[in-house]
Amino acid sequence: MLFKSQIRFVEDFERKFLLHFKETIEKNSFIIKNYVIKKQLYDKGIDGNTKRLKGYTRTTIRYKISKGQPSDRTTLKDKGDFYASITIDAYFDRFELSSNVSHTKYLIKRYGQEILKPTVENMNEFMRVHFIPSLKNKYGKFTR
């Protein structure tokens, strides 16, 4: 019973921390989506584990060149339906990216579930630039 108020403080802060994490993800989901779509898939052709995606076939390379799209890396972009359909669901302890276009299951089968995962580098940036400053702004009185 000696540390009852300290335990209550830690439990309360943990609950507030997780709630704030969920709210920050919801508020800034477009940033995480941009990390995956632009910085990973389109710019680098990598998945969330920084693994380079399997290359295009020769036919697809010719098609990409004719459309003026990158052919030196797999971007998973043709018309943009897959990119546009990516959504983020935030929970108290995690978040999940998904897509509801019909060909998503084929993309995941060929390239893996990690195509819908931000890299550690991008998540570190998100935490440093968005989450931590927001947390300090809202709960700074707890950290001083």
Is pLDDT of 87 > 90? Answer: yes
Measured distance CA(41)–CA(46) in Å, rounded: 5
Question: According to DSSP H, which parts of the chain are helical?
Answer: 4-27, 29-34, 43-44, 58-67, 81-85, 104-111, 120-126, 132-143
pTM of the model: 0.85
Task: Look at residue 9 in the predicted model and tell me its pLDDT.
Answer: 85
Q: What is the pLDDT of residue 1?
A: 60
What does the pLDDT average to over 95-109? 96
What pLDDT does residue 2 have?
A: 65
- Mean pLDDT value of segment 111-117: 97
Q: What span, in angstroms and rounded, lies between the C-alpha atoms of 143 and 139?
A: 7
SS3 77: coil
Task: Measure the CA–CA gap between 40 and 122, rounded to whole angstroms.
Answer: 9
Q: Is residue 133 domain-resident?
A: yes
What is the model's pLDDT at position 93? 87
Contact 116, 86 (CB under 8 A): yes
Q: Distance (Å, rounded) from C-alpha 135 to C-alpha 130? A: 9
Let me know if residue 38 belongs to a domain. Answer: yes
- Whether 14 is in a domain gets the answer no
Q: Quick one: pLDDT band at residue 43, thresholds 50, 70, 90?
A: very high
Per-residue pLDDT at 44 = 97
pLDDT classification of 144: cutoffs 50, 70, 90: very low
64-89 as b/e: b if 16+ CB within 10 A: beeeeeebebbbbbeeeebbeebebe
Assess if residue 10 is contained within a domain: no
Inter-residue contact 44 to 109 (CB < 8 Å) = no
Whether residue 11 lies inside any domain: the answer is: no
Does residue 88 contact residue 25 with C-beta atoms inside 8 Å?
yes
The pLDDT, as a whole number, for residue 3 is 83
pLDDT of residue 54: 95
Domain carrying residue 37:
26-143
Q: Say how many domains are in the chain.
A: 1
